[in-house]
Amino acid sequence: MLSGVGRNDSNAWQHFYDRYKVLVYMCGKRYGFSPMDLDDLLSRVMSKCFTSSVGQGGHAILSYDRSKGRFRDYFCRIVSNEAITMLREMKRRREVPTENSDGKEFDIADENAEASMQKEYRMCLLNEAFQQVKRELPSRQIQAFIAVRMDGVSPKRISQMQNVSLATVYNDITAVTDAMRKIVSQLEEE
């Protein structure tokens, strides 16, 4: 995906935007930003990801240097730095939110912010993997996974409802889990 964005592939760019927009919004909500502020944060982050120098065809170039570490760490630093910059600007204008969307006060220098952002990033990847798995695997497997892992229905009950053996239910759940692990692993390498 990143190499496609670097080549200005419109499909890769859309995939990049869709994946990382969710992460930016999750982070911004944690800082208590309004919907308008979330859009501003997204705009700032996306523009920071690309150099101001222009590549072939007049397109901005992805500014990420692989030799400096993983892209997700680079991206999370940009999101966090831009959110803090916005909060400081808002403070100067006396517009700083004092609590996040949960109603809890937040600290700009929160030492757990990095871990929290990594967790949110992981959730974005899991969601993307699940959406892909839903398109690729049989609906019976997806239904068994959702019912048992997400809704807490007993595997025995699912085997009765689907009229399959208990072993089949466990195999279906394992198939979905394995497929998601594989996709997340691939997404982490992008």
User: What mean pLDDT do residues 135-164 have?
Assistant: 89
Specify the pLDDT at position 81.
85
116-133 mean pLDDT: 79
The pair of structure tokens assigned to 119 is 């967790």
pLDDT in tens, 53-91: 444 554 555 565 667 677 777 778 888 888 888 888 877
Rounded to the nearest angstrom, the gap between the alpha carbon of residue 70 and the centroid of all alpha carbons in its chain is 15
Instruction: State if pTM tops 0.75.
Output: no
Inter-CA distances, 120 with 22, 40, 91, 124, Å: 9, 20, 26, 6
Q: What is the per-residue pLDDT for 71?
A: 76
State CA 47 to chain mean position distance: 18
Predicted local distance difference test score (pLDDT) of residue 127: 82
Map residue 112 onto helix, strand or coil: coil
Domain ranges of the chain: 2-121, 137-190
pLDDT at 22: 84
Q: Report whether pLDDT(155) > 80.
A: yes
